[in-house]
Amino acid sequence: MDSRLSKQIQCSVCVGDFTDPVSLLCDHTFCRQCISNHSQSCRLKLCPECRRPYTMWDLRSNRVLRNMVHAVREHLSEQQALRDGNVAACGAGARVFEEPEKLVCSDHQERLKLFCETDQKLVCLICRDGERHQGHTFKPVEQAAEPRKNLLLEPLSFLSKENEELQALIKKQTNEISKTEERSRQLSAQISAQFEEIHQFLRKKEEEVKKMLAKEEKDMIEKMKRNRAEIEEKLNDGREQEGILRSVLETDQPDGFLQWWSEKGLDFVEEMKEKESSVKSVNLTPNSLFLGLHETHLQFLVWKEMLSFIKPVPDRNVIHDCHDPYLRVSSDGRSIIRTSKKGIFLHHKDYRPLARTHKTFQSGQFLFITHFYFLFICLSIFLKSKYIFMIYTVSNISQIIFQTSQTRQRGSEIN
């Protein structure tokens, strides 16, 4: 796979990676220096691939291929580093297990050929016969090292899987950041288009809204980047530990391994048994950039500032007469009044009067204004997909209700 990929960035003249690639009119690409040398060495300027004539004026810089060559080189380097167990690819600061020289006993200057199972330490033959290790169990270093290496396989598998999941989370978080930036650009364009209609009057307001958007974008992206940094930190820690375990398992010196085991390995395995997954403690920060009415009804937000030259005319829906004995609908269908102060409430305590109107639309934004004097109003909204439902007071544009849902019907009661 890597071999096939590397061939795609090779110049057919020098058989090396493209350097400052240029394309001919026939769409064949070569290094700029290669095609220049070819032109000077040949009497006729013919494409080395298809033999089609060309001139030096036909050379066009291939910027896309140049960037692709750089990206492919990085990818191939990363893959090679992973195959070679390159510590740099496992994260900055990772330390490889360093195999020591031939270990000797500090007390007797003898080779440490035995491992004390009781004390979990390397010992020499003289130490074995001393009082300090009397009654202890010993094994040759070759026999003692192998089962302890096997104990490292489970934490290694745990770390490898966890690091893969952390890497996937980083990729998703980066994607969410890109979505937020793209969403911010879309909103910025939308805001500019809306303000263009009344640009002279609303120039100041437009700048205020854009600053608010920039702040929301900055806050959102900073939050996402902080979260990504935390994930990267966990990944680096995991890769460091993974790199250490891999280098330990690859050593062919059992005494050196057991020395490491005595000092760090045993404690490490015990800690890994109690370690919980870092992935479970990581939450992805999703793209949730939203400006409320500044996004959906920008012109309505500044309606009161525009009264001097613009009159808002929201849709007025006709109220249907439901033949409620307590309510009477006006002849124009624009208002309702109650028929009496007592009405039917004396007989039915749980009765609620009903008036109904409806507005149907397939997509987009919908604005309605209602004036009410009842203690309670119940609104029922039927939608086929995800929606954002908001209710604001007209007098001061204060938000009463804000809801999002996948539900097909939504009813809201306002006090």
Q: How far apart, in whole angstroms, are the C-alpha atoms of residue 310 and residue 221?
A: 37
Q: How far apart, in whole angstroms, are the C-alpha atoms of residue 116 and residue 276?
A: 31
Banded model confidence at residue 64, pLDDT cuts 50, 70, 90: confident
Residues 273-291, mean pLDDT to the nearest whole number: 84
End-to-end CA distance of the chain: 66
Spatial CB neighbours of 391, under 8 Å, sequence gap ≥ 6: 379, 399, 400, 401, 412, 414
Most confident segment among 19-28, 65-74, 379-388: 19-28
Over residues 349-378, the pLDDT tens digits come to: 556 666 666 666 555 555 555 555 443 444
Rg over CA atoms, the chain: 37
Q: How far apart, in whole angstroms, are the C-alpha atoms of residue 191 and residue 187?
A: 6
Banded model confidence at residue 169, pLDDT cuts 50, 70, 90: very high
Q: How far apart, in whole angstroms, are the C-alpha atoms of residue 314 and residue 379?
A: 18
| pTM exceeding the 0.75 threshold for the entire prediction | no
Q: Is 106 exposed, middle or buried (0-12, 13-18, 19+ CB in 10 A)?
A: exposed
| pLDDT at residue number 409 | 40
CA distances to 208, 236, 254, 298, 309 from 202, rounded to whole Å, are 10, 50, 78, 11, 12
* Contact assessment for residue 279 and residue 166, using Cβ atoms and an 8 Å cutoff: yes
Residues 269-273, mean pLDDT to the nearest whole number: 83
Residues 37-55, mean pLDDT to the nearest whole number: 86
Residues 119-137, mean pLDDT to the nearest whole number: 88
| pLDDT at residue number 406 | 45
70 against 175, higher pLDDT: 175
Which H, E and C letters describe the chain, residue by residue?
CHHHHHHCCECCCCCCECCCEEECCCCCEEEHHHHHHHHHHCCCCECCCCCCECCHHHCEECHHHHHHHHHHHHHHHHHHHHHHCCHHHHCCCCCCCCCCCCCECCCCCCECCEEECCCCEEECHHHHCCHHHCCCCEEEHHHHHHHHHHHHHHHHHHHHHHHHHHHHHHHHHHHHHHHHHHHHHHHHHHHHHHHHCCHHHHHHHHHHHHHHHHHHHHHHHHHHHHHHHHHHHHHHHHHHHHHHHHHHHHCCCHHHHHHHHHHHHHHHHHHHHHCCCCHHHCCCCCCCCCCCHHHHCHHHHCHHHHCCCCCCCCECCCCECCCCCCEEECCCCCCEEECCCCCCCCCCCCCCCCCECCCCCCCCCCCECCCCCCCCEEEEEECCCCEEEEEECCCCCCEEEEEEECCCEEEEEEC
| pLDDT at residue number 352 | 62
Banded model confidence at residue 224, pLDDT cuts 50, 70, 90: very high
| pLDDT at residue number 263 | 87
Q: Span 2-89: which CATH code?
A: 3.30.40.10
Q: How far apart, in whole angstroms, are the C-alpha atoms of residue 414 and residue 373?
A: 11
Q: How far apart, in whole angstroms, are the C-alpha atoms of residue 32 and residue 367?
A: 61
Q: How many CA atoms lie within 13 A of 282 on its CB side?
A: 26
Closest CA relative to residue 334, chosen from 382, 374, 377, 369: 369
Banded model confidence at residue 177, pLDDT cuts 50, 70, 90: very high
Q: Is 69 exposed, middle or buried (0-12, 13-18, 19+ CB in 10 A)?
A: buried
| Longest Cα separation, the chain | 113
* Contact assessment for residue 33 and residue 56, using Cβ atoms and an 8 Å cutoff: no
| Chain center to CA of 292 | 23
Average pLDDT over the chain, rounded to whole? 76
Token pair for residue 105?
């006993």
| pLDDT at residue number 393 | 54
- Phi/psi of residue 391, each to 5°? -125, 125
Domain ranges of the chain: 2-89, 159-294
Over residues 84-120, the pLDDT tens digits come to: 654 444 554 455 555 566 788 888 888 888 999 999 9
